[in-house]
Amino acid sequence: MSHAESAAAYAEARQQVEQRWRTAFESSAIGIAMADFAGRFFAANSVFRNMLGYTESELYQLTFLDVTYEEDRKANQELVRELVEGKRQHFQMEKRYCRKDGALVWVCNNVALVPGMGGVAPFWFAVVEDITQRKEEESAHRYTQEKYRLVVETASDAVISLDETSTILLANPATTRVFGYDPVELIGKPLVILMPEFLRKLHDAGFKRYVATGQRHINWQGTELTGLRKNGQEFPVEVSFGELTKDGHRVFTGFIRDISERKQAEEMRKQTQKAIQTTQAELARVSRHTTMGELAASIAHEVNQPLTAVNNNSNACLRLLANQNLQPDVLRRALEEIVADGTRASAIIARIRAFIKKAPTEKNRLDVNEVIGEVLAMMGHGFEENRILLQSELAEALPPVLGDRVQLQQVLLNLIMNGVEAMTAIIDRPRLLWVQSRIDESGDVLIAVRDSGTGLDLEADRVFTPFFTTKANGMGMGLSISRSLIEAHGGRLWATPNVPHGAVFSFTLPVDTESPS
Amino acid sequence: MTRAFVVFVVDDDPSVRSSLKFLLSSVGLQVESFESAETFLQRKPPDAPSCLVLDVRLRGLSGLDFQRELAARDIRIPIVFVTGHGDIPMSVRAMKAGAIEFLTKPYRDQDLLDAVRVALERDRARREQEKDLTDLRQRFESLTPREQEVISMVVSGMLNKQIAGELGTAENTVKVHRSRAMEKMNAQSFADLVRMIEKLKGSAEKAS
C-alpha cells in the first residue's frame, strides 16, 4: 500500500470513525453536550437540545451557566472550579436546567473537562440524563412520607408499630399522654405492658394466631378494649390496627385512642336520660296529683266554708223554730246570710269552671294508643302491687286526635286509678283491668277503662257530680274534672256498669280531620 | 244548759264564725268568737267551764300549733276541731294532743253540738275536781303539824295506842288530835278521811 493509498485509507477510516461517533452522538438516548473552556456550548445532541427547548444556533450563543437554574449555579460553579483546579477528574451533579420556555428540568449531569491536545483547546464534556420524572416521584414519596410522619407525630391518639412478635418498634409522642410512657421507654418492649393482666394472654394468643393463620379475633377498625397506664390505672381505649409488609417483614401499626372522657360522657348521658325519664314520670304523677288532688282539696275547702255556714244558720233557725223562739228579725238575718253564702258557693264553682276551661292547653295531633302506653308506664308497679291483671286491647292504626297530652294522661290516669281503687277490696274474683281503644259508630276514637271492682249503683251518672264519692278518703272531684277536660276536647265521658262486675268508664275524642302539619 | 258555760269559736271565715255563734247560741250557749288564735290568747283565761271550737286552717298560728301553744301555757281548755279538709294524720295528731273531736266541714250540726257538750262537761268536771282538791288542800293546811302527823299515821293503819307510843304522848291526846282533825277536814267518817288523804297524796305525786 502506497503512502498515498495508506493516507487515503487512513482518511477514510478516520472519516468512518468520525461518522460513527457523530451518529452515536446524535442518536444517543442520553443528552450529550460540549462546551468550550469558558462554558459556551459548541456541540449538543438533539436529546440535549430538546431537553432545553433550544435550537442548535440558539444554544451555541449560551453558556452552561446561562441554562442552569439560578439556585443550582453556585454549586455547579464550585464543582467546575474543583475540576479546573485538578482536584477531581469529573463530577456528577443533580441540578435543574431552565428551559427556553421557562420550565425547569431536573437532570443528572456527568461532566468531564477534556484536556487540550495538539491544536485542540480543552473543552467540557457533559452527559445529561433527564431525571425530572424520578425527582417528581421522589418528591411525591417524600411528601407522602412527610405527611404520614406529621400525622403520626401530631396525632392525639397513640400510634404504635409492632413487629411480628408483638414487640414495639415505634411509638409517637401522643403515647406519653395516653399511656404515661416516654416513647423511648417502650421501644423493644412487648405490647402487652400497655394492657391489664386479663387481656395479656388473650392478646398473645390472638396475635400469634393471626400471624400464623391470618385469622383475626378482633375487629381491626375500632375495638373497645382496656388499656393500662404506666401508673397502673386502667382506662377504656378504642384500638384500630393496620398491617404493612416492609422488606419481607410484617409491621403492625395501631392507633389507640383514650376514650375515658367519651365513656364518661356516654355514662353521664345515659344517667341524665334516665333521670329525665324518671323525672318526667314523676312529674306526670305529681301533676296529676297536684292538678286533680290539690285542686280538689282547695275546692273542698273553699266550698265547704259557705256550705258550713249555710248549714249552721239553717240548723240554728230550725232549733229556735222548734222551741218557738225564732224572732222574725233573727230569721231574716239568718236567711240573708244563707243567701249570701249560697251565692258565694256558686261563685266559687263558677271560678273553678272558668279555671279549668281557661287552663292553658296545648293541643297537638296525638296517637291515643301512645298516650295510653305512657299512662300505663306511669302506673309502673301500681298494677303488680295491687295484684291487678292488666289487659289492653288497642286498635291498630287509629287516626290521630287533637288534644293536650298531659290533660288526656290525667284523665286516663284518673280513670285507671279509680278502677284500681275500686278493686282493692275484691278478694273473691280476679282483679281485671281492661284498657281498650277503638273507633266507635260515629267515627270518633273511643277509649274505655273497664274494671271488675265494686261497680256503680243504679245512678251511674251521679259519680260525675262534684263532691260525690264512694271512697273513704276521696274528694269526689276527679271524675267531675275529667269530664270537664274531655268536654273541652269536644268529646264525651260516661260510665256504664260492667257485666258481671265492676264499671266501664268510656270517653270519646273526635278524630283530627286537618291535614297533617 | 246553764249560762255559765262559754264556747269560744276561733275561725277566720266571718260567715262560718257568725253562723257558728248563731247555731251555738240557738241551744242556749254563751259564745265568744275570734278571728285568730292570737286574738283569743289576748283574752284572759276564762274562769267558767268552757271549750274551744277551732278551725284547723287559720291565718297566722294554725289550729294545731295553737293547740300546742295552749298546752305550753297550761291552759287546759278542751278543743273541738273543725276543718274544711282534714287528712288522717292531721286528725290523729289533734286527737293525740287531747282534742275532743275532729269534725270535717260540712258536719252534721248534732255532731258538733254533741262534741261541744262533751267538751264543756269535761271542762266542768275538771274544774270541779280542781276546786275540790284546792279546798281539801286548804283544809289540810289548816291542821296543826301535830294533827297532820297523827292523821297520816291513822290513815296508814296504826292504832291510837301505837301512835301514842310512837309520839310519846297519852292515848287520849291522840284521840283529841284525831277528832279535831276529822272536824277540820270535814270528814264524815274514817273512810272519808282516808279517801281525802289519798286524793291529796295523788295530786302531790302528780305535781312532782
Contact criterion met (CB < 8 Å) for B23 and A305: no
Which triple of cell numbers denotes residue A447? 277509649
Cell of A100: 427556553
pLDDT at A129 over 60: yes
Specify the residue for cell string 279555671.
A355
Residue A242 and residue A220 in contact, taking contact as beta carbons nearer than 8 Å: yes
In DSSP terms, B101 is beta-bridged to B80
Mean pLDDT rounded to a whole number for chain B = 87
CA quadruple B92, B98, B104, B105: dihedral sign: negative
Report the percentage of chain B scoring pLDDT > 70. 95
pTM as predicted? 0.42
Instruction: Give tens-digit pLDDT for B69-91.
Output: 888 888 889 999 998 766 677 88
Q: Which residues of A touch B19 (CB under 8 A)?
A: 308-313, 316, 337, 341
C-alpha cell at B13: 271565715
A407 is written with which cell numbers? 290533660
Report ipTM (2 d.p.): 0.75
Nearest Cβ partner for B23 among A297, A316, A341: A316
User: What per-residue confidence (pLDDT) applies to A282?
Assistant: 58
Report the amino acid identity of residue A48. F
Q: In this complex, is the C-beta atom of A66 within 8 Å of any C-beta atom belonging to chain B?
A: no
Q: Helix, strand, or coil here: A357?
A: helix
Write down the pLDDT at residue A472. 47
CB B49 within 8 A of CB B5: yes
Q: Picking from A237-251, A498-512, B156-170, which range would have the lowest pLDDT averaged per residue?
A: A237-251
What count of Cα atoms within 13 Å lies in the side-chain half-sphere of residue A207? Answer: 23
> A259: which residues sit within 8 A by CB, 6+ positions away?
A224, A236, A237, A238
Record the cell numbers describing residue A64, joined without a space: 452552561
- Which chain B positions have a beta carbon within 8 Å of A334's beta carbon? 22
CA distance B132 to B119: 20
Minimum Cα–Cα distance from A303: chain B residue:
B84
Closest chain B residue by Cα to residue A340:
B15
A516 band by pLDDT with thresholds 50, 70 and 90: low
Task: Tell me the nearest-neighbour CA distance from B23 into chain A, angstroms.
Answer: 4
Residue A124 DSSP SS3:
strand
Please report which residue ranges of A289-427 form alpha helices under DSSP H.
Answer: 295-322, 328-358, 368-379, 382-385, 405-423
pLDDT at position A517 is 47
Gyration radius of chain A over CA positions: 51
pLDDT at residue number B114: 95
The whole-number average pLDDT for the span A480-493 is 84
pLDDT at position A393 is 92
Nearest C-alpha in A relative to B15: A309
- Range B167-175 contact pairs with CB under 8 angstroms and sequence separation of 24 or more: B174/B150
Which of A390-404, B5-19, B78-92 is predicted least confidently? B78-92
**Does A485 or A234 have the greater pLDDT score?**
A234
* Interchain CB distance below 8 Å, B19 and A337: yes
Give the per-residue pLDDT at A473. 46
Between CA A392 and CA A390 the distance in angstroms is 7
Out of B22, B84, B87, closest to residue A313 by CB: B22
Q: What pLDDT is recorded for position A461?
A: 61
**Chain A 436-475, residues with CB within 8 Å of chain B CB atoms:** 473, 475
Given a cut of 50, whether residue A313 has pLDDT beyond it is yes
Count of A-B CB contacts under 8 Å: 72
In this prediction, residues B183-203 reach a mean pLDDT of 86
The reply to whether residue B22 touches residue A473, judged by beta carbons under 8 angstroms, is: no
How far is A56 from A42, CA to CA, in rounded Å? Answer: 9
Q: How confident is the model at residue A448 (pLDDT cuts 50, 70, 90)?
A: very high
**Coil vs helix vs strand at A212:** helix
Rg (CA), chain B: 24
Q: Which residues of A touch B109 (CB under 8 A)?
A: 311-312, 315-316
Residues 6+ apart with CB under 8 A from A158: A171, A172, A174, A175, A177, A178, A179, A254, A255, A256, A257, A258
Residue B46 DSSP class: P
Check whether A442 has a pLDDT greater than 60: yes
pLDDT at B3: 46
Question: Which three cell numbers, joined as nine digits, stand for B69?
Answer: 301553744
Q: Is A326 exposed, middle or buried (0-12, 13-18, 19+ CB in 10 A)?
A: middle
Q: What is the pLDDT of residues A169-225, one digit of tens each?
A: 889 889 998 999 998 899 999 999 999 988 888 888 888 888 888 777 667 777 888
Task: With CB atoms and an 8 Å threshold, state whether A308 touches B88.
Answer: no
Measure the CA–CA gap between B173 and B171, rounded to whole angstroms.
5
Strand partners, A438: A446
**Residue A92 φ/ψ, nearest 5 degrees:** -120, 135
To the nearest whole angstrom, how far is the Cα of B38 from the nearest Cα of chain A? 21
The confidence score (pLDDT) of residue A361 equals 64
Cell triple for A385: 302491687
A386: Cα separation from own chain's centroid: 43
Per-residue pLDDT at A476 exceeds 60: no
Read off the pLDDT band of A426 (50, 70, 90).
Answer: confident
Say how far apart CA A252 and CA A164 lie, in whole Å: 8
The greatest distance separating any two alpha carbons of chain B, rounded to the nearest whole angstrom, comes to 75
3-state helix, strand, coil split of chain A in percent (to 5) is 50, 25, 25
Average pLDDT over residues A87-91: 87
- pLDDT score recorded for residue A481: 77
Which one has a higher pLDDT value, B41 or A362? B41
Query: pLDDT tens for residues A28-72?
Result: 888 999 999 889 999 999 899 999 999 989 999 999 999 999 999
3-state SS assignment for residue B99: coil
The half-sphere exposure of A18 on its side-chain side, counting CA atoms within 13 A, is: 6
A341 in contact with B, Cβ within 8 Å: yes
Give the whole-angstrom CA distance, residue A397 versus residue A374: 17
**Cβ–Cβ under 8 Å, residues B10 and B67:** no
- CB distance B109–A304 less than 8 Å? no
The pLDDT value recorded for residue A26 is 84
AA identity, residue B128: E
- In single-letter form, the type of residue at position A232 comes to G
The answer to whether the Cβ–Cβ distance between A311 and B85 falls below 8 Å is no
Report the residue from B26, B88, B109 with minimal CB separation from A311.
B109
The three three-digit cell numbers of residue A145, written as one number = 412520607
Query: Between chains, do A305 and B57 touch, taking CB under 8 Å as contact?
Result: no
| Strands B79-83 and B50-55, bridge-based pairing | parallel
Sequence letter at residue A191: L
What is the rounded distance in angstroms from the CA atom of residue A316 to the CA atom of residue B22?
6
- Residue contact B26–A320, C-beta within 8 A: yes
- Find chain B residues with C-beta within 8 A of A305's C-beta: 13, 15-16, 84, 105
B9-35 in b/e burial notation, b at 16+ Cβ within 10 A? bbbbbebbbbbbbbbbebbebbbebbb
* Residue of A299, A303, A305, A336 to mutate for B, most B C-beta atoms under 10 A: A305
Find the CB nearest A313 among B19, B87, B88.
Answer: B19
Q: Which residues of chain A make contact with B18, given a CB cutoff of 8 A?
A: 309, 337
Q: Cβ distance A60 to A41 under 8 Å?
A: yes
Question: Quick one: pLDDT at residue B2?
Answer: 45
**Residue A65 cell numbers, joined:** 451557566
Report which secondary-structure segment, H or E, holds B157. Answer: none
Residues of B in contact with A293 (CB under 8 A): none
Question: What count of other Cβ atoms lies within 10 Å of the Cβ of residue A196?
Answer: 15
Distances (CA, A) of B194 to A81, B26, B187: 150, 45, 9
Output the CA–CA distances (angstroms, integers) from residue B207 to B47, B123, B198, B202, B203, in the order listed.
21, 19, 14, 9, 6
Per-residue model confidence (pLDDT) at position B117: 94
Query: Which positions in chain B have a beta carbon within 8 angstroms of at least one beta carbon in chain A?
Result: 13, 15-16, 18-20, 22-23, 25-27, 57, 82, 84-85, 87-88, 104-107, 109
Q: Is A315–B106 a contact, with Cβ atoms under 8 angstroms apart?
A: no
Measured from the Cβ of residue A492, the count of other Cβ atoms closer than 10 Å reads: 14
Out of B16, B26, B104, closest to residue A309 by CB: B16
Does A193 contact chain B (CB < 8 Å)? no
Share the mean pLDDT of chain A: 83
Per-residue model confidence (pLDDT) at position A292? 59
Taking CB atoms and an 8 Å limit, are B23 and A313 in contact across chains? yes
Q: What is the dihedral of CA A233, A235, A238, A240, to 10 degrees?
A: 10
pLDDT of residue A288: 53
